[in-house]
Amino acid sequence: MSPIVGIDLGTTNSLVAVFHHGRPQLIPNAHGKFLTPSIVGVLESGDVVVGETARELRITQPTRCAWAFKRWMGQTRQVKIGMSVFTAPELSALVLKSLKQDAEVFLQQPVTEAVVTVPAYFNDHQRKATRMAGELAGLVVRRIINEPTAAALAYGFQDRHVEKRLLVFDLGGGTFDVTVMEVTGGAMEIKATAGENFLGGEDFTDRLVAEILTRAGMTLEAEEHLRPRRVARLRAECEAAKRELQHAETASIRQVDAEGNLAEPPAVTSLTRDEFRHIVDPLLRRLRVPIEQALRDARLSPSQVDDVILVGGASRMPSVVGLVAAMFGRAPNAELNPDEIVALGAAVQSALMNDLAEVDDLVMTDICSHSLGVEVVKVVGDWFEKGFFDPIIHRNTTIPVSREKSYRSVPGAEKVLIQIFQGEARRSSDNLLLGELWVTGITPTATGTEISIRFTYDLSGLLEVESFIAGSPKKFQVVLNQEAAGLSAADLERALERLRKLKIYPRDRLENRRLLQFCERLVGEIAPHWRDSLEAMLDPLEAAMSLGDFARFIEAKRAMLDFLASLGIDTAEFEGGEHVE
Ligand code: AMP
């Protein structure tokens, strides 16, 4: 049986896992790591690099890289990197392709099917864009599941005998979800979910970058436009400081000059945990809102929650842990690795889909995270006012579900256009339009005709809308499926063709490419008296790599690694992988 892999397609990092030898297992990438940065870069040669190598490239050549594109999934936005233009699903497809390749190397067989996770609060367009990314990567997306649902599956797989009310607090790089669920001996029931699609760890880094620039009399927007290299390196510094604060009370941020190099003479800004908490306070306050909403929807008070599970790398921040502890009166559960739990859960889901014996006592019920309904006309005084949203399936309803509601057509109407929306706003224009259905052949009457509408929503996000005119056997029907939003088969084929033409940097040479990128970054970081020596070694290394001269490459690489080691840099991860381009 060909394996179905589980993929956590994250804003900043992605992971792939598989259910192997009776348990979910993470798959390492070409660098031997489980986390693959969700970053795509285009080298000057036109080759596309993904992951670690692209992350190094981003620091020295930010305009050749794209990242955090999960944030614009479902939008029509495009970005130009190098000579190529990409959409978010195309960039995500490149990340998925790289994970697929890692899985194939690990499993020694082709991988063509996947379960992919998305934030619970992703709307229909964002889910469709994710499915499309899978298709572009050559993967059949067998199921899209919510990240907290996956986290619950991993939790439930590991701890089958618990009876608990859980709150999953999922703060990733770009999104925030809160899910309340009940676990009873292998049966997991999602009760409520709430979230924000534009709030994540990257916003915390951005706030810090903005603060440092403001203190120096600059603005992030202007600098990003005028001096992207400065912002890119400063962002790397701020990201490192943010992480350092997980274990230390104080972190230091090295100052960056206008060219994007470390300031000379070296200068640092120190940052305490308290200062950081103060800088990100507006974000911390925003985190409270979905927590309160999910608890309200689940009709629970914080004290009725037995355990808070932290998911997503950004949930490691002490200021975030502190907020959760203060709201719930106890420390959150930190047993499972917040970076890994979602991918592991996706692999458990794939085992469920394959009916594997190891998971036959696990049962999962999910909910829909947004309300689904239709646009209606209201009678206001003595006139009709259009544009109101009327939910047929309310948010947090357990799925699969089928619900019917009756409406009356406006007097004299011979046909009615049913507009289907997703969202919570009172006005339909503030919600997401999913599709339309014409109901025709109505006999006009002075009081309007009764029309019933049935919504059926299944686990894979398929929404079937049926409508009947009272007293008529005729049925009107539309199925809003998971095909790529707004894209025809021809559009999809064109995107596939574009991706096929890209030259992907060979996986077995990535290790060396990353070394080169790393050294290039170092050029702007080390003291000037070392810079010349570094560049003198970088030139032959680059030349040997592009000439494909193996003997010279081995020699140049050895010299470089020895030099790096003499600077106190741990070179273990660059050893081995002796392939030359
Ligand atoms: P994702 O990979 O999308 O789940 O999220 C990764 C996010 O977590 C990024 O914004 C990282 O900056 C953040 N992150 C990872 N580790 C840490 C840490 N130790 N402290 C603070 N933020 C972290």
Mean pLDDT by runs of 10 across the 581 residues of the chain is 92 96 95 96 92 93 94 91 91 98 96 95 88 94 92 88 91 93 88 91 97 94 92 95 96 93 87 97 97 96 95 95 95 89 96 91 88 92 89 94 95 94 94 93 91 90 90 88 60 85 85 88 83 89 84 90 90 70 48
What H or E segment, with its residue span, contains residue 427? Answer: none
Q: How many Cβ atoms are within 10 Å of 184's Cβ, its own excluded?
A: 14
Q: What is the pLDDT of residue 578?
A: 57
Residue 436: active-site member? no
Minimal-distance CA residue to ligand 1 atom 12: 201
Q: CA 121, CA 554: separation in Å to the nearest integer? A: 50
What H or E segment, with its residue span, contains residue 435? Answer: strand 432-439
Out of 56, 70, 124, 223, pick the active-site residue. Answer: 70
What H or E segment, with its residue span, contains residue 460? Answer: none
Helices (H), 220-260: 220-226, 228-244
Q: What is the pLDDT of residue 169?
A: 95
Q: What is the pLDDT of residue 487?
A: 62
Tokens representing residue 118 in the block: 């998305």
Q: CA-CA distances (angstroms) from residue 206 to 128, 130, 180, 200?
A: 28, 25, 29, 10
Q: CA 513, CA 524: separation in Å to the nearest integer? A: 18
Please work out whether the CB of residue 14 comes within 6 Å of at least one atom of ligand 1.
no
Q: CA-CA distances (angstroms) from residue 74 to 58, 60, 87, 206?
A: 24, 29, 10, 23
Residue 102: active-site member? no
Out of 90, 102, 124, 170, pick the active-site residue. Answer: 170
Q: How many Cβ atoms are within 10 Å of 78's Cβ, its own excluded?
A: 12
370-502 adopts what CATH topology?
Substrate Binding Domain Of DNAk; Chain A, domain 1 (2.60.34)
DSSP-derived secondary structure letter, 44: T
Out of 47, 52, 56, 147, pick the active-site residue. Answer: 147
Please work out whether the CB of residue 423 comes within 6 Å of at least one atom of ligand 1.
no
Q: What is the pLDDT of residue 579?
A: 55
Of 282, 304, 283, nearest to 294 by C-alpha is: 304
Candidate of 7, 8, 11, 73 to mutate for ligand 1, largest count of ligand atoms within 8 Å of Cβ = 11
Of 293, 465, 483, 545, nearest to 396 by C-alpha is: 293
Q: What is the pLDDT of residue 484?
A: 46
DSSP-derived secondary structure letter, 443: P
Burial of 379 per CB tally in 10 Å (0-12, 13-18, 19+): exposed
CATH H-level, domain 4-199+284-367: superfamily = ATPase, nucleotide binding domain (3.30.420.40)
Please work out whether the CB of residue 260 comes within 6 Å of at least one atom of ligand 1.
no
- Three-state SS letters, 20-40: ECCEEEECCCCCCCCCEECEE
